[in-house]
Structure 1
């Protein structure tokens, strides 16, 4: 028995699940994209591998960006202009380096914050028997169900975090605009008030008249 306060070795089923989670390849990045800028990423992909590119603009301007995906031969697989968010799935036609770029070159003064998730391949089976015709044990089936449920929880949590970040950015942007508009209205009101005071003062000011005597 291990001493109190320490942990023993992982059970075989949990160890297999942990190793499977480590094998999965995915790139999940949030980065700043300045105005008039372009950022490219590269990924080595084997032929026949199924990949998914998902992106979303979190902050900046109209929350849009240009996206382009090319294969090793430079053939455009995906191209969208001024998209706020999108998802694209493809299967690699050949081995090589695939390139995907995000462009903010159409914007002259606003930078963007972009999130993307690039998944290469599918998660390997938790147990070798999943690819066979044999039936899974009750413990194996429970582990597979829990694994799939945790993947769904992670995906939902990511999407809700992105929505929360985008909503906070919109609220802060709206608050800034309201603050500037309030200051502008205050200045206009002050100028109009001063003008009215001088206008009313001119109505009640004494006008000096000059009389000239004409001798007979």
Structure 2
């Protein structure tokens, strides 16, 4: 038993979590973009770093948005108009602040909900090969496999959460339209019914005849 106050070797799962915490930087945000609005984000990136920008419109209008990515010199690296979703990978050509913006300026009354995931750099290996003279042990290989499987699970969960949110938004919008249509039909039926009642009543009502006397 190790002395009190000292620490023994890390358990395998704790070691896996500790190494995974050193992964590449990633910004994953969901935000609302009002109509006639533009939202920009900034990220400091070192030269030679591989980055990936992925976005998707979850709710609003035709589920489209404008996206633009610029380097520190203002050179446009990526520009798309009215895209529902897309992914773009690039390698930073120089050090500095990179800017990417989402625009809903073409919409006059519909606001959007936008999700984006901006990854800077690549995940470092769990067990670096530097200064290693032996191959990975069975436990280390299992940790690597679990780590890769967990990353795949996270990607699938994010994908299905976005699809679920988009489907729920479509269903709520359709439900609202059906409710309005039902209310309109009820009002039309009520008006037609009242009109028919008055029309039938006019058929069976007694017509009064008036006589006039002509003086002799």
Cα distance per residue 1:28-64 (max 9 Å; x no partner):
0011111111100000111111110011111111111
Quote the Cα distance in structure 1 between the aligned partners of 2:198 and 2:213.
35
Distance 2:199 2:181 in 1: 27
Closer/same/farther in 2, CA of residues 145 and 12 from structure 1, 3 Å limit: closer
Contact 1:17 1:126 in 2 (8 A): no
Counterparts of 1:69 and 1:140 in 2: how far apart (Å)?
39
Per the TM alignment, residue 13 of structure 1 is displaced from its structure 2 partner at its CA by: 7.8
- In the alignment, the residues of structure 2 paired with residue 211 and residue 157 of structure 1 have an alpha-carbon distance, to the nearest angstrom, of 88
Distance 2:17 2:167 in 1: 36
1:139-177 deviation line (CA, Å, top 9, x unaligned):
222211111111001000110111111111111111111
Shift of residue 2, structure 1, vs aligned partner: 8.4
CA contact (8 A) 1:37 1:103 kept: yes
TM-score scaled by structure 1?
0.89
Counterpart Cα distance in 1 of 2:15 and 2:138: 17
Shift of 1:194: 0.9
* Stretch deviating more after TM superposition (150-159 or 77-86): 77-86
RMSD: 3.0
Q: Name stretches of at least 5 consecutive residues in structure 1 with no aligned partner.
A: none
SS at match of 2:125: coil
TM-superposed CA distance for 1:207, in Å, is 1.8
Separation (CA, whole Å) in 2 of partners of 1:68 and 1:97? 14
Q: Cα distance 1:29–1:130, how it changes in 2: closer, same or farther (>3 A)? A: farther
What is the Cα deviation at residue 15 of structure 1? Answer: 2.6
Matched residue SS, 2:48: coil
